[in-house]
Structure 1
């Protein structure tokens, strides 16, 4: 009975992560379309939510990588999965609060790896899978998107450079509807599957699935697709502002090139089962589209802050996941560990909110100064 309750807690936490993944990564899909006025914000987000849902059903290769290609599924426990989710959700919320586009995918992988290291040591980590399927693709993908977007925008400007600006801009705005929709579909094929893989790991730990070759149950696909779609529809406006205008002031042609290159790279990675950071990919496309036009068009300080967040994501989420597992383990087995972690998190949040209220000076009433 306690094991069943713990499984429910872990599944709820996984879907909560999926929801935060949706609103955290909304900017990846819609920011360029909104900033160039190709689509109004609410319509762009609604289209992205629907296509995120649809994309989750197109492939399960990334889910298989998460479920069995990074950590030893035979050593996984429900407490490890829960602690990894805590690490991922915490990093997602922190970077959302700061308005930094970071990788939900790497946060999830870092959280689970950190919890597994504390629980079972390095022997439970598939180092070859982590390097070959996460770290190397994570470095190559944004560089590839940068290059593809840069070449694409140079070709576009060469082809349409002598055309009238008004009709050309309207044409590329229409093109952005197609490229943005393809990017949303690609995002669903890659990101929703990470939660499917985590829930599958939880089912293996619970004993509901065979750990040797676990298949993703259909209800897991439906639940994960729905959670990321709802999160996408809720929107992540802080990050949308950063992606849409703080890196470069883009035109419709640049938006089209960035979205198209990002979608192509993500779909290619999904086909071979690489759990990419869609944030890194589309950011690489945005910077590439801007830098190819003029290096000074890119706000390199903002891009540098994003790069720092990327480098910190896996170790920071891993550290949080490891601490969460330590607290859970000290509290004992069953549901006591996750409950203890939730209590600690609630106390930290309450402390931070109280500290913020204390630091905020009260408003001066009219006429008080006189």
Structure 2
């Protein structure tokens, strides 16, 4: 029981870190356009991160993303040691990327850690991986930012054409107000997508411990606590990543902020409906690139973008290797 409690506490710590690590996703553009101060922005995002709990439970009616994460490894190979090692590896990589201001994916960190520990626990066998759940997630490492980029490009062009004859000063004031709506929608998508991932891990731990029989039997306190933790983490900010997302990729106006956040929210709600855990970081980055590309391709700082791409590609394998190392150490002390 003590080991289970430690794992649940670690899961909440990861969820909290995920909140401040990914706070930039929903507030970077609204801060860079000076619609809200940094403090107001994180408070705004945190409220809607938490509101996502009620959206998932009472509107969508289920936690599809959480179920996908929990089933990324076949149930018979899920042990408390595997879950513990995956969480420790995910926390290490998240803190490393946060420290260096790299907007990597907390979601893929978690999946990589979970898989790496399970494979090590099974003696190096890849038969532990439920590829029907994992492969769509891997595909969406590329597809999520592409969808975000295309939707943002189309939205920006559409808005620009509609507002051609509008008074520039009045239009900018309207788009500043609309950014409150678009960032709220993105925060809903962020909370709904990311908090569920930790919920899936805790559910898997409860099954491995024997506290519940099936992933779907997870008690209500688990999702409620996960949404609380990510909201508190979001309130803590993550200013290094805000700077990268809000200013270093491309300069964003209120109009473009609405388009980028709207595109990100649309992509997140689509993938949540499909039950695919995607990276909110990848999604909004793609959307910001799509917005920048409407001006001219040179408006996007491709050097920064290529660096981010490498971080995305390396996240799952590095997290898996870290988790394998942690599992090896843990196995020496816990039999």
The reply to whether TM is greater than 0.5 is: yes
- The separation in 2 between residues aligned to 1:321 and 1:315, in whole angstroms, is 10
- The separation in 1 between residues aligned to 2:14 and 2:167, in whole angstroms, is 46
- Which residue does the alignment assign to 1:14? 11
Structure 1 residue 138, shift from structure 2 partner: 2.5
- Which residue does the alignment assign to 1:145? 148
Question: What does residue range 1-370 of structure 1 map to in structure 2 within 5 Å?
Answer: 4-59=1-56, 60-68=63-71, 70-120=72-122, 121-132=125-136, 134-211=137-214, 213-333=215-335
Q: Residues 268 and 278 of structure 2 are in contact (CA less than 8 Å); yes or no, is this contact kept in structure 1?
A: yes
Structure 1 residue 316, shift from structure 2 partner: 0.7
- The separation in 1 between residues aligned to 2:112 and 2:29, in whole angstroms, is 28
- Which residue does the alignment assign to 1:354? none
Q: Residues 19 and 228 of structure 1 are in contact (CA less than 8 Å); yes or no, is this contact kept in structure 2?
A: yes
Q: Residues 116 and 124 of structure 1 are in contact (CA less than 8 Å); yes or no, is this contact kept in structure 2?
A: yes
- The separation in 2 between residues aligned to 1:186 and 1:89, in whole angstroms, is 22
Where 1:58 maps in the other structure, the secondary structure is helix
- The separation in 2 between residues aligned to 1:73 and 1:309, in whole angstroms, is 30
Q: CA RMSD in A?
A: 1.1
- The separation in 1 between residues aligned to 2:75 and 2:222, in whole angstroms, is 18
* 1:142-161 superposed Cα distances (whole Å, 9 cap, x missing partner): 10110010111111112223
5+ residue gaps, structure 2: 57-62
Q: Residues 212 and 218 of structure 2 are in contact (CA less than 8 Å); yes or no, is this contact kept in structure 1?
A: no
* 1:245-300 superposed Cα distances (whole Å, 9 cap, x missing partner): 01001111111000000000101111121111010001100010011221111111
* 1:112-141 superposed Cα distances (whole Å, 9 cap, x missing partner): 000011001212111222112x11123211
Please tell me whether Structure 1 or Structure 2 has the larger radius of gyration of its CA atoms.
Answer: 1
Structure 1 residue 236, shift from structure 2 partner: 0.3
5+ residue gaps, structure 1: 334-370
Where 1:74 maps in the other structure, the secondary structure is helix
- The separation in 2 between residues aligned to 1:89 and 1:241, in whole angstroms, is 22
Q: Residues 154 and 293 of structure 1 are in contact (CA less than 8 Å); yes or no, is this contact kept in structure 2?
A: no
- The separation in 1 between residues aligned to 2:224 and 2:323, in whole angstroms, is 26
Where 1:248 maps in the other structure, the secondary structure is coil
- The separation in 1 between residues aligned to 2:173 and 2:218, in whole angstroms, is 43
* 1:95-126 superposed Cα distances (whole Å, 9 cap, x missing partner): 10110111000000000000011001212111
User: After the TM superposition, which of the residue ranges 120-129 and 191-200 deviates more from structure 2?
Assistant: 120-129
Structure 1 residue 54, shift from structure 2 partner: 1.3
Q: Residues 57 and 221 of structure 1 are in contact (CA less than 8 Å); yes or no, is this contact kept in structure 2?
A: no
Question: Paired residues, what number?
Answer: 327
